A and B are shown apart, each in its own frame.
Chain A
């Protein structure tokens, strides 16, 4: 017998004795996943217990901005996608960037082309040491989550796994239409967009990298980016 069969065998043996549903009474409700079954409740109704989110688009944008301020995310709204290029140029000049890494997305390509800097394009593979040398990684994303101030991105939408975590400054280019209200909506979006073939990596990024491992004092930039900038265009 393989270890797989051994372990599954032990599990099946153990499960012959049912355990009572939590909060229920022993001996009751063992075998029926009834109307209140978590299969429905957790997925669909999480919205009723999680922190509340305003119904209106303006309210959601304001909540995202408020979370960003708490998290020390630099969140800026821009009039349109044409403004990405100048916003990036300003950041580059202000922070003295010497080299930037990015991927060939619709938004990122146009926005980084106008930078008067060497650009490391990661799409066809790259050298890690070169990426380590870059001052910023510029990526797109799949969604922004109003409820938590998170950015959702994947290895397919944002140039792989390292681009958004290795350089010390992560800049996200997003569209306002990508703002979703809450976590259940974000997972539904990932499912709708990718369930035919999921990328190998998907992540929810909430603020710049941080640690509290020394005397529980908050320090930004533990291993990932010290800075997170989200540029969000209206159209």
Chain B
């Protein structure tokens, strides 16, 4: 068993039995579910909207090269410096290069999962720069030196008291159990940082090919401040963020908010098309856009699973996933958790190391059903299982299935095995769940169904 898998299993059993965790997640997601359902119902047709959203992303992917070229040309024509990075190392070097050239000291960041993906904060901190996360949830997990727990709600696993303790320890604030006061403590601490920061780094929700703009969705206003005050602004985004037209946002903005947080539309939806223009009173003097591949093109090459690149990172599939809700976000050990993380991580970080995530599913299909862009999530988990087995066959499984096949194909053998099972099952109790139990993986936590004392055929004959 690989280290990654061992860790996953240990964490999963620990969190699944943690009742406090369970109640926290259930309250948080319970509220989400009621709001989401209300907002979905407000659509004239949520289903048609999903279909069109899926087709629009499909259209964006099928000419991704042309869309990217248009996006980049438009941005460059208005004075933005665009950089292309094949992997995380290149992206980090580009960003560190900009920071160095500007002789910057302090960097303010708004939420960007791509930055988590390439471990940007660690790299900047190692070079001695002060990096401050400005999204409240991200700020909290940064103070705890943790990864975000959820791609949309990073601090969902913490209670207000834990956050109060944290602020008290790290910021010297008075203890309080009022969420509003806690928010104001962070607001005051971060205000100073915005004004002092030389560099603002953001992610992006969409990249508009038609107009050469990035679109950022947020509730707090932290990304807007990050894009308004520092002299230099950097946006890091994956190449798959493309939407063909600006007007597509009329559909995607309300869908993202509805699926992700049960809101009709998020508080701020902003478009950025370059550095400050002549005649504008503020905004960055320099704007850099970093386009990240980091094995997205490998996923693109897999036509069967290409639609996983349609993901708009709304987090809806995490929220409905029984596995996510039981094992929690940190157990995955990945940047992207939940069903979408289980699908794409094997592509981004190696199939054999991460194939266990394909099995971390009940295959209930709740993720596929909820996904606003109709990604075939639970089938992709099966595709990954198939691909992993084809690449690296497991001889125990192979033999087991061969034996099973032989037995099921022969009536005589089947009868022998059935008779043996009837005799042996009463003895199973002696070893059940213990180290000598052949069915231990199952019986440790579950019952094995008893073999019926009489088959249907036998009963039929008796009654005839």
Contacts and interface: CB of A to CB of B under 8 A. Distances in A.
A208 B221 CA distance: 9
A52 B44 contact: yes
Contacts, number: 314
A50 B250 contact: yes
Interface in A192-220: 195, 198-217, 219
A160 B84 contact: no
Interface stretch (B277-285, B328-336, B398-406, B445-453): B277-285
B interface, size bucket: 35 or more
Contact of A132 (B179, B191, B219, B239): B191
B276 A200 contact: yes
B421 interface: no
Given A203-B270, A214-B136, A223-B134, A190 B246 contact: yes
A19 interface: yes
A195 B179 CA distance: 43
A43 B261 CA distance: 24
Interface in B80-116: 83-86, 90
B253 A183 contact: yes
A187 B248 CA distance: 9
B301 to A, nearest CB: 4
A116 B307 CA distance: 59
Nearest to B227: A161
Interface stretch (B51-59, B121-129, B386-394): B51-59
A35 interface: no
A95 interface: no
B27 interface: yes
Contact of B303 (A3, A18, A161): A18
Contact of A224 (B27, B43, B225, B280): B225
A interface, size bucket: 35 or more
Contact of A48 (B45, B227, B298): B45
Contact of B270 (A195, A202, A217): A202
B220 A201 contact: no
B156 A222 contact: no
A103 B232 CA distance: 23
B276 A213 contact: no
B203 interface: no
Interface string A120-164: 001111101100100000000000000010100001100111110
Contacts of B298: 14
Contacts of A126: 281-282
Contact of B254 (A7, A156, A183, A201): A183
Contacts of B275: 200
Interface stretch (B2-10, B60-68, B359-367): B60-68
Given A126-B282, A187-B247, A214-B163, A200 B277 contact: yes
Please report whether the interface of chain B is mostly helix, strand, loop or mixed according to DSSP.
helix
Interface string B145-163: 0000000011110111001
Interface string A1-26: 01110111011111101110111000
A148 B71 CA distance: 28
Nearest to A33: B59
Interface string A36-55: 01110111011011111000
Contacts of B271: 201-203
Interface in B269-324: 269-277, 279-283, 291, 293, 297-298, 300-301, 303-304, 306-307
Contacts of B273: 198-202
B229 interface: yes
Contacts of A2: 84
Given A200-B273, A222-B183, A223-B134, A10 B297 contact: yes
Nearest to B49: A49
A23 B245 CA distance: 22
A163 B59 CA distance: 37
A37 B277 contact: no
A210 B264 CA distance: 14
A205 B217 CA distance: 10
Given A33-B59, A204-B269, A214-B160, A11 B300 contact: yes
B201 interface: no
A54 to B, nearest CB: 13
Contacts of B156: 216
A214 B277 contact: no
Given A7-B291, A129-B195, 6 more contacts: A4-B84, A39-B244, A49-B46, A162-B282, A201-B270, A224-B221
Interface of B: 24, 27-28, 31-32, 42-46, 48-49, 51-56, 58-59, 61-65, 68-69, 72, 78, 83-86, 90, 134-137, 140, 153-156, 158-160, 163, 179-180, 182-184, 187, 190-191, 195, 211, 213, 219-222, 224-225, 227-229, 239, 244-251, 253-254, 261, 264-277, 279-283, 291, 293, 297-298, 300-301, 303-304, 306-307, 374
